């Protein structure tokens, strides 16, 4: 990491702060498996966050020269603010974490359970534009099973925050290992990033695939079996 940081510094010598931030975004630098949050992230109530974000977004629109007196635009700052707090970034708030109940594996089912093609909507933390794709997940029970819809809810919870796809993949896998009390978990995400498709290089044909395997899924045959189901 030290070498990468040194190289980055050399590349941006003499550049502006905005150019530096853009270069960091283009190089897809991440931080850790945890979403970077301040310690006081949830001290402010949601209604106050909405009020402040609406004010800032109103200024962005004003700066762009948009007429906020227009009937179509005047409600946009509030709509964007509510969307940020209550919808597309709701996964930042731990109060929104799905409640998970486990059940005894009475069937003694010992093979993998695969939930594939889970619709995924997230947002790139470098440009705040959508990431759209599918998640495929699997686990092998250690004695407990989970309701199928809870698997989708876990994917949704970690998707609803500013993300990089590598971190999202790891967060889903870590959560599944924790709640299912099993090491045998597989997660594959195949997604289109609109920061690539709608800006910059504007490549609408490429997608990004990330994967996390642990436990029995580190075995080549188990991994291949899983991939054959989601291919």
pTM: 0.86
In this prediction, residue 32 carries a pLDDT of 73
Convert the pLDDT of each residue in 50-79 to its tens digit.
Answer: 999 999 999 999 999 999 999 999 999 999
In this prediction, residue 9 carries a pLDDT of 41
Q: Is 165 a catalytic residue?
A: yes
Question: Which helix (H) or strand (E) element contains residue 48?
Answer: helix 46-63
In this prediction, residue 1 carries a pLDDT of 43
CATH superfamily label, 39-88: GTP cyclohydrolase I, N-terminal domain (1.10.286.10)
Classify domain 101-230 at the CATH class level. alpha beta
Q: Is 127 a catalytic residue?
A: yes
Catalytic residue among 126, 163, 212, 216: 126
Concatenating the DSSP letter of every residue in 113-171 gives: EEEEEEEEEEEETTT--EEEEEEEEEEE-SSEEE-HHHHHHHHHHHHSSEE-HHHHHHH
Domain ranges of the chain: 1-27, 39-88, 101-230
Q: Is 212 a catalytic residue?
A: no
Mean pLDDT score across all residues of the chain: 90
Q: Is 195 a catalytic residue?
A: yes
Is pLDDT at 15 greater than 90 in this prediction? no
Residue 137's Cα: distance from chain center in Å?
A: 15
Percentage of residues of the chain with pLDDT beyond 70? 87
């Amino acid at each position: 990491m030290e070498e990468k940081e040194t190289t980055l510094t050399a590349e941006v010598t003499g550049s502006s702060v905005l150019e530096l931030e853009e270069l960091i975004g283009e190089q897809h630098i991440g931080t850790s498996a945890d979403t970077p949050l301040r310690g006081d992230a949830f001290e402010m109530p949601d209604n106050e966050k909405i009020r402040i974000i609406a004010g800032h977004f109103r200024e962005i629109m004003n700066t762009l020269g948009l007429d906020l007196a227009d009937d179509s635009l005047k409600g946009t700052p509030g709509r964007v603010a509510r969307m940020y707090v209550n919808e597309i970034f709701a996964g930042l708030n731990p109060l929104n974490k799905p409640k998970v109940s486990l059940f005894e594996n009475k069937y003694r089912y010992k093979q993998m359970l695969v939930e594939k093609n889970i619709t995924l909507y997230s947002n790139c933390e470098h440009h705040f534009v959508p990431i759209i794709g599918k998640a495929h997940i699997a686990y092998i029970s250690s004695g407990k099973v989970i309701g199928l819809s809870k698997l989708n809810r876990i994917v949704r919870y970690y998707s609803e925050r500013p993300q990089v796809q590598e971190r999202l993949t790891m967060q889903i896998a870590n959560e599944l290992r924790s709640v299912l009390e099993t090491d045998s978990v597989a997660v594959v995400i195949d997604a289109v990033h609109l920061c690539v498709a709608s800006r910059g290089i504007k490549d609408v044909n490429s997608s990004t695939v990330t994967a996390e395997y642990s436990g029995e899924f580190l075995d080549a045959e188990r991994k291949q079996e899983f991939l054959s189901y989601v291919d």
